[in-house]
Structure 1
């Protein structure tokens, strides 16, 4: 496979485009979340039908993620980033105007497809920019996704609270994303990873290990989002009204950790980040599960956020650096595995919790996180 000269990726404008791509992706997804109740009311469906409709987003994303790696391997990242970013911009207001369930299912599948396309392509682009830079950059790129998510959620909350006009609110959000994508478009790498390499390679070797670890980490993030509040409230540590405080601290700690992550990785290396980050995540889960008081549990949330913050960026870097398969396809495989963890993980935890209890399900999650420090020597054995 022919790789564009790495020096072309080491430019301030290319780094800006990468940061904006991550920010737009986080912003767009955060803008969608507050719209779900309005969409449900417009369609007049029950919770069961709504759940099936939301599943269309996941199906569209996973299919697109698998296809995007193939497209990038041949044509590069730029076209896929533009398709994902501009598609997200266009679809967000459209979703608020659909009144037919079948049309909404198709639109949500397309929405998931553009999100999945953007997710894979911006990560492949970020890996290429990171490889060309004299210092690590991936954690900072991922931090911008969190910042975009916070900004999108805050903006939509303010707009819908002041005036519940969903079309106007989404048009404002779409306008902001449009500006971001217009700035991004001319600054993206044009060569990317295009070349004569194979269009499909079955994931194998170290890529399978990286995909498995990524699944475990994304499953952890999904569990913190969907189940952590219930964990602390059913344990009697916090009242229901305060259950979301833990996840808030987790999110703040993860964002802060990613802003500092590039300096940490440059100083200590990928292996140390995986070993100590995995150990800190494990310690946080243990503190959370054994906490006798609320403030102890909250410190567990902080430890989990800080520990987990830079593991996924390192995994993407390693996927782009390995040589057993084309980097674009490897990053796509790792992205798809991670998304599958977020999509199926919370449901799996609910199923396990129904059998053995929620706290025991979280202990099983801790067992999965053990793979991070244990596998670190293997996946970082050499710079691939």
Structure 2
């Protein structure tokens, strides 16, 4: 918790992690209005699914360009501009009146979501290197907290503000105002220029990033799968009778993930990034074993243990990607972010296919086996580190 105390007592650090929080406040608010947008435009599940996929297309299409933008604009400046434009862009999806404009608006949201995500992670990585501190995990904890804040405040305001566009504009305005009060603390920070750093996405330059990106792919696939399938798992596999309890798995998962991220920096500082990823994967493996018992209480605990285990992995993956020798932080983080987010989107789809072919329990068994692979990758990375 030392990193959390450091963040809350230092404006330089708090101003940066607030960008993480801001990003997910907007997302948490938007999620409340997806059913509303679907109904107003008369969309079916396939259409709304493709519209949401346009966010991913926006993110992926801009990934190679972000390092160049960071170089031209500056790391701190791009982080601030990213969150401002992202907030404004997210007012559009609830305002449009056609399916084509919905897809286009979500594509724009995706572009600035990716720009902000990469810039803010690269900014934290830069600050960690300059100040020799560990705050990446807590920064991601604030991201998780932002989703809770957005959904909570949104749930209260949704009954008061009858027009979704006004609601989104109000939240966007609040986020921009708070960031305007804080941005001067990081605005002029630029990415360090070191000799022999790779700026391109060539295989030779990015080869050291590949194992880390694979970890991101698997772990973010798991996060996406649990978000989409945990409720159905409790209903169809665990056979709970009370449908109001179907969300307990994801709730416990989210709470433990937030808590784990606030403690992750201290543990990482003591044992290192690779070891904490291994430890997190072991916890996740144990959690999946509990989930597969199909006993309601043990399964619910299992989702919490998975959340605790996965919580520390993605922040550490970004931390490693930002410190790989010979690779610029923005380039490494771009690659890891793109592959990881691809997993987050495609993971639930692949698991749905597996579930349709076999059953949902086999899908979660697949997640267990993939997490075992993550543990094996980290063991290999630990071995390579020791032999250097």
- Compute the TM-score of the two structures, normalised by the length of structure 1: 0.91
The separation in 1 between residues aligned to 2:88 and 2:335, in whole angstroms, is 27
Mark the CA change 1:70 to 1:355 in structure 2 (over 3 Å): closer, same or farther.
farther
Number of the residue aligned with 1:281: 284
The reply on whether 1:257 has 2:293 as its aligned counterpart is: no
Deviations 1:129-160 (A, max 9, x none): 12233431111100000111100011111111
Contact 1:219–1:345 (CA<8 Å) still a contact in 2?
A: yes
Counterpart contact for 2:125–2:322, Cα < 8 Å: yes
State the match for 1:168 in structure 2: 166
Q: Which moved more, 1:102-111 or 1:188-197?
A: 188-197
Matches of residues 87-236 of structure 1 in structure 2 within 5 Å? Answer: 87-193=85-191, 195=193, 199-203=199-203, 204-236=206-238
**CA displacement at 1:199 relative to structure 2:** 4.0
Aligned residue among 76, 79, 103 for 1:81: 79
User: How far off is 1:180 after superposition?
Assistant: 2.5
Contact 1:64 1:116 in 2 (8 A): yes
Q: CA deviation at 1:163?
A: 4.0
Deviations 1:164-202 (A, max 9, x none): 321221122112211232123212252422659654232
Residues 84-103 of structure 1: CA distance to partner in whole angstroms, max 9, x if unpaired? 21112212323322112222
Q: Which segment is superposed worse, 139-148 or 181-190?
A: 181-190
User: Cα 1:370–1:76, aligned 2, differ >3 Å: closer, same or farther?
Assistant: farther
SS of 2:191's equivalent in the other structure is: coil
Is the contact between residue 56 and residue 105 of structure 1 (CA under 8 Å) also seen in structure 2? yes
Alignment RMSD:
2.1
Deviations for 1:279-325, whole angstroms, at most 9, x for unmatched residues?
0100100110124x211111101110111111111111111111142
Trace 1:63-78 onto structure 2 (pairs within 5 A).
63-73=61-71, 75-78=73-76
Out of 294, 297, 307, the residue aligned to residue 295 of structure 1 is: 297
SS in structure 1 at match of 2:232: helix
What number of residue pairs does the alignment pair up?
A: 373
Task: Provide the C-alpha distance between the structure 1 equivalents of 2:283 and 2:216, rounded to a whole number of angstroms.
Answer: 16
TM superposition score normalised by structure 2? 0.90
Structure 1 residues 46 and 201, CA gap change in structure 2 (3 angstroms)? closer
Q: Is the 8 A contact 1:74 1:193 kept in 2?
A: no
Which structure 1 residue ranges, 5 or more long, are not aligned?
Answer: 1-10
**Structure 1: distance between partners of 2:161 and 2:56:** 30
Q: Which residue of 1 aligns with 2:245?
A: 242
CA contact (8 A) 1:206 1:379 kept: no
Which 4+ runs in 1 deviate beyond 3 A? 73-76, 194-199, 377-384
Return the alpha-carbon distance in structure 2 between the equivalents of residues 40 and 230 of structure 1: 21
User: After the TM superposition, which of the residue ranges 192-201 and 247-256 deviates more from structure 2?
Assistant: 192-201
Give the aligned partner of residue 374 of structure 1.
376
Note the C-alpha offset of 1:275. 1.7
Q: Distance in 2 between matches of 1:128 and 1:180?
A: 23
2:356 matched residue in structure 1: 354
Query: Measured at CA, do residues 135 and 168 of structure 1 come closer, stay the same or move farther in structure 2, by a change above 3 Å?
Result: same
CA deviation profile, 1:213-260 (whole Å, cap 9, x unmatched): 001000010111001111121123423331100110000000011111
**In the aligned structure 2, how far is the partner of 1:199 from the partner of 1:206?**
14
**Residues 211-220 or 367-376, more deviating:** 367-376
Distance 2:238 2:312 in 1: 31
Whether the aligned pair in 2 keeps the contact of 1:24 and 1:180 (CA below 8 Å) is no
Residue pair 2:198, 2:327 contacting (<8 A) in 1 also: no
